[in-house]
Amino acid sequence: MLYIASDHAGFQLKKYLAQRLKNDLEIEVKDLGPKNIDENDDFPDFAAPLSKQVTKSDKNFGILICGSGHGMCIAANKIKGARAIVGYSIQGAELARKHNNANILCLAGRILSEEHALAVTKTFLTTKFEAEPRFVRRNKKISQLE
């Protein structure tokens, strides 16, 4: 399952990505909010519930969108099992999946164009974790820090 959420700064990009991912990748996307723009909302209120859903299964992924991506990423990584990254580049998103088994992509609604955000997201969602011994060992060490 793919979960998606944003704050007010990522609301428009969230709506765009949810529709494009449903159409282009034919995947189910569950929108965890907000339903409407509220300039006074706070990103941790969306990052935590999404991260808790994502970490229930290794088949789940999440997309979080705020102004820079950083606030959502910091909040998401407070949840045990969350491996959130800020995705500004296609290569970064690919490496985060291949080497770090990232499960949450955080995007910058005030910085990325819709098309670039879509390309980064598609790369993130279609790239598989390379379970080489060195990556497994490193990821196990990360999990032990939780």
Write down the domain spans for the chain: 2-144
pLDDT digits (tens, 9 = 90+) for 94-119: 999 999 999 999 999 999 999 999 99
Q: Is 71 annotated as a binding residue?
A: yes
CA 145 centroid distance within chain:
21
CA 124 centroid distance within chain:
9
Q: Which one, of 74, 3, 52, 5, lies nearest residue 33 by Cα?
A: 5
Write 19-24 long-range contacts (CB < 8 A, 24+).
Answer: 20/118, 21/118, 21/121, 21/122, 21/125, 24/118, 24/122
Look over the chain and give the mean of its residue pLDDT values, rounded to a whole number. 98
The pLDDT of residue 24: 96
**Which backbone phi and psi does 9 adopt, to 5 degrees?**
-70, -20
Concatenated DSSP letters of 78-124: TSTT--EEE--SHHHHHHHHHHH---EEEEETTTS-HHHHHHHHHHH
Strand order in the sheet with 29-31: 29-31, 2-6, 61-66, 104-108, 84-86
Catalytic positions, please? 66, 99
pLDDT digits (tens, 9 = 90+) for 38-81: 999 999 999 999 999 999 999 999 999 999 999 999 999 999 99
Q: Is 33 annotated as a binding residue?
A: no
Q: What pTM value is reported for the model? A: 0.98
The pLDDT of residue 71: 98
End-to-end CA distance of the chain: 24
**Candidate CATH numbers 3.40.50.150, 3.40.1400.10, 3.40.1390.10, 3.60.10.10; the one for domain 2-144:** 3.40.1400.10
Q: Is 109 annotated as a binding residue?
A: no
